Amino acid sequence: MNIGTIGHVDHGKTTLTAAITKSTSFRCLVPNYPVYSVLSEKKQTIFRSYEEIDAAPEEKKRGITINAAVVDYSTDKRHYAHTDCPGHADYVKNMITGANQMECAILVVAATDGTMPQTREHLLLAKQIGIEKLVVFINKADAADPEMLELVELEVRDTLKQYGFDGDNTPIVAGSALCALEGKDPQVGREKILELLNVIDEVPMPKREKDKPFLLPIEHVFSITGRGTVVTGRIERGTVALQAPVEIIGYNQSLKSTVTGIEMFHQLMSQAEAGDQVGLLLRGVKRDEIRRGQVVCEPKSQSMQNYIQAQVYMLSKKEGGRAKPFLSRYQLQVFSKSWDCPAYIVLPENKEMVMPGEDATIELDFQKKMVLEPGQRFTLRASGTTLGYGVRECVSIHVGQAGVQIGNACWELFCLEHGVQPSGEMYGDLGRDYEDAMQTFYSETGGGKYVPRAIFADLEPTVVDEVRKGTYRKLFHPDQLISGKEDAANNYARGHYGVGKQMIELVLDRIRKLVEPCTGLQGFIFTRSFGGGSGSGFTSLLMERMSRDYGKKTKLEFAIYPAPHISTAIVEPYNSILTTHGTLEHVDATFLLDNQAIYDNCLHNLNVERPTYTNLNRLICQVVSSTTASLRFSGSLNVDLIEFQTNLVPYPRIHFPMVSYAPVISAQKARHEQMTVAQLTSACFEPINQMVKCDPRKGKYMACCLLYRGDVVPKDVNAAIATIKTKRCIQFVDWCPTGFKVGITYQPPTAVPGGDLAKVQRAVCMLSNTTAIAEAWARLDRKFDLMFAKRAFVHWYVGEGMEEGEFREARVDLAALEKDYKEIACEV
């Protein structure tokens, strides 16, 4: 296992590393002190003294660690490669390189100081880099009293929680590394080092990607007299053998070579694999031709980029970032793996600046071409400060009967897409292929299980119990499944003002626990129904509260909209108007889904004689999957959550895009049909493939976002869009001449085994903001007016503490929304 020490300068990281390795001669400040090391007594390591670990001249001169050093040792259970990272603020660059080697870290905190600035900086960087497992060693315990040790432990646990680690369950050992080295006070010295080693022996071994193409980020380059050039580093994935051809790329350079020697901790090897710390002897390459930060890889398996699009979170001043906003062309240093490179921030045309504490989609213009892959983590720094980092995580919230059922169908599909079993474990090689993509929706437990980052909530237990007892019951943590004892009785007021208030704090607390471990939360995805009591009333209350707590985070929802002629509740118009009014300012985009439109889609396209909610929900979850595919899988054109708002919502209130999906095709038809990109694109504009009953020919499109999956190339997409623009029945507003946003994800859609949808090689989901959607609002408003004119059923709402005036206020707001859509179509 690759492990290492991190922490504040002079807290004893190198001393602890020396204490673990074998005893020889340690020159301590007090002469003639005997020197001991725990593992040396068992003959399980070669001792590395403090001076050997801090071997560079500058390190010896200043008495601090500057470079990351690697030593090895063994316990009874396993072998370790141990990286000793610098703790000084001036050498965070080397700390990032060292931490990238680690799979587990030992956080060293001095009992005399507690957590210090670099303790927090190292925790932040460790989380950004992706280190999930920590063990804490409170050093210098011999110099502090028991009360102080207890206070330091409490402080450390709180700090761990702040940076997304499991503060409650992280093992903490208090001892003295110096006592272990000097053979003094074994109760805080030798015995505590043994206890620490026992603790790290219990840390689960990480999964190794041995079946992927070989990749080794270069950490150091050496010229060995009489042999040639040697590069060192940790093999990130794949395997390499003697005489294997390799490519060295990065910093605008590409060289070919052959591996003529492999060495691991002074042992010659014929082959090395993912996770190994190795030195590779390369043929025909000079020392000055390669540098740290380049990668050694299987030929043609990697490419270089100097201009990328990235989703980043900029740290606020409170989190240790900048106080001033970031403008376009601001220069900073980007760190990833073992490389760092200057780059300029390039902001979208419609964005003047990025504020500290804000998520943003930016472009990075590198001064040199570097090796970057989709989903790769990186850190942004300037003037000695960590400014931000790139990562994308989402929390899903499923509310009410419809929301919970849709959510259950979605997670069934997501698990199939990512190779996750119903137990949360991975399907071997299939799962490893998508492991990097899983961070968006899943969090990994200490036991290697993947848990959805999701909450299921309903005011009564029936549908949540179906999840608790269903096929995927072991997938979710019990705390994620929340239900009350009384339902909302199809009453918005009951969900918002009545029984919903009794459950709101519990749900918010569970959401908070999901959010805290996230290193770069992008936003929230809701599924719910407008017509139900919990879906309308409780969701409105939840969004109001979440706007205060997570105001800057994106909030998207997939909402079941009342069908024109089919209704599951008489008071659906009341609930829908009230919840639309209540959430209009709290949600960024609402994708409307009409049960009748989806029912007709299943009936005509899939030949399902009597579609059930299962049929409908599986079609809906294909839409949700396509919408989030760019966050999870690689592609040539990516679209993230924030871009939906930027490209689809011209004004804050006009945020109700219509959804279309193609092909909706059965397995029998799929044998005889293979739709081209042009046919798929055209199908999205046909009413039968829309998921809301309205006629787009009577309105104008403001913007269309086409999300393609599978075997699709940009050239075909451009040709298809050009054809669409020539059709007279498809009109765009004259103030938005561009009209189209495109996303392409290489991962084809996944079909649920035993489902109605066929497995296809390509598909497209269209999210379109059209003025025709006002037809659906007008239809709903008429139903509302007919009932409210007679004050029918109003007493049930007033009886739950809601004022009658709220009906009028909501209706006026919806009338204004209708008017907004009409005026937009006329603007020039």
Residue positions annotated with a catalytic role:
643
CB 574 within 8 A of CB 784: yes
Q: Radius of gyration of the chain from Cα atoms?
A: 29
In terms of Cβ atoms closer than 10 Å to its own Cβ (0-12, 13-18, 19+), residue 779 is: middle
Torsion, Cα of 173, 179, 181, 186 (10° steps):
-80
Taking Cα atoms as reference points, which of 393, 375, 364, 389 lies closest to residue 312? 389
Taking Cα atoms as reference points, which of 218, 154, 215, 7 lies closest to residue 95? 7
Residues paired with 262 in a beta bridge? 269, 280
- Please report how many Cα atoms fall inside a 13 Å half-sphere around the Cα of residue 760, on the Cβ side: 28
Handedness of CA 166, 170, 176, 180 (dihedral sign): negative
Taking the C-alpha atoms of residue 657 and residue 419, their distance in angstroms, rounded to an integer, is: 31
DSSP state at residue 611:
-
Torsion, Cα of 681, 686, 688, 692 (10° steps):
100
Taking the C-alpha atoms of residue 158 and residue 785, their distance in angstroms, rounded to an integer, is: 54
Taking the C-alpha atoms of residue 359 and residue 74, their distance in angstroms, rounded to an integer, is: 43
Strand intervals (E) in 663-821: 701-710, 740-745, 762-770
Strand intervals (E) in 126-252: 133-139, 172-174, 215-217, 220-224, 228-234, 239-241, 245-250
Taking the C-alpha atoms of residue 80 and residue 652, their distance in angstroms, rounded to an integer, is: 54
Angle at 748 between CA 742 and CA 752, to 5 degrees: 125
Taking the C-alpha atoms of residue 686 and residue 683, their distance in angstroms, rounded to an integer, is: 5
Beta strands 277-282; 253-264: pairing state: antiparallel
Taking the C-alpha atoms of residue 828 and residue 397, their distance in angstroms, rounded to an integer, is: 39
Tell me the three state secondary structure of residue 248. strand
In terms of Cβ atoms closer than 10 Å to its own Cβ (0-12, 13-18, 19+), residue 586 is: middle
Q: Helix, strand, coil: what percent of the chain each, to 5?
A: 35, 25, 40
Taking the C-alpha atoms of residue 695 and residue 678, their distance in angstroms, rounded to an integer, is: 22
Torsion, Cα of 675, 676, 677, 679 (10° steps):
-60
List helix spans (H) across 165-249. 177-182, 190-201
> What tokens appear for 693 in the block?
């009953």
Contacts of 509 (CB under 8 A, 6+ apart): none
Handedness of CA 747, 751, 757, 758 (dihedral sign): positive
Looking up tokens 């999956």, which residue turns up?
709
- Please report how many Cα atoms fall inside a 13 Å half-sphere around the Cα of residue 560, on the Cβ side: 34
Ramachandran quadrant class, 448 (left: phi over 0; alpha: psi -120 to 50; beta: rest): left
